[in-house]
Amino acid sequence: MIAIIDYDAGNIKSVEKALKYLGEDAVITRDREEILSADKVILPGVGAFGDAMYNLKKYGLDEVLREVAKRQIPLLGICLGLQLLFERSDETPGVEGLGILKGEILRIPDCPGLKIPHMGWNSLKLQNDGRLFKDLPEEPYVYFVHSYYLKATDESIVKATTEYSTHIHASVEQGNVFACQFHPEKSSDTGLQILKNFVEL
């Protein structure tokens, strides 16, 4: 069973739909025991960093997610879910992230001719043998919607990058913790393969 963390953030239903399409048993939940007994856990998210951290704390899910990481249950953060796994974000100064991974979330710099938020398809440059990208071409196209991006402290955990106004760490993997800045559930067959790779870990 795959637990999708419910903390009142968007895009949860589309993640559930993609997993069901793959034939997976997925449940949207904020129940501690249900989450900790799951085979895999997904932290999706659309919205503001500070509001999301407030909700995670309100439901006690910040501690549950740290416990998931500690127990080595495979955990996948998607979009805002990736950002929350790190220490801080320019979007909400003074609000601490989950701190499960080391790094910070920065605002995409303004660049003539490029719109922010970054919305649309970009190719990834794969590196460091990420398990999420098994059986995918070298530069897969995926769908992004974001105004902030990850700069991980340790480059060795970065498994995919992309370029949009700046160099973006688009996917990371450290032990049982995985994360994507892009939306696999909205990235067509490529995204389904990424989700399939996660559920087959």
Closest listed residue to residue 170, CA positions, set 189, 193, 188, 191: 191
Q: Which residues are catalytic?
A: 79, 183, 185
CB-CB contact of 100 with 69 (8 Å): yes
CA dihedral 29, 197, 145, 127 (to 10 degrees): 140
Neighbours of 136 (CB within 10 A): 18
What is the rounded distance in angstroms from the CA atom of residue 156 to the CA atom of residue 68?
Answer: 22
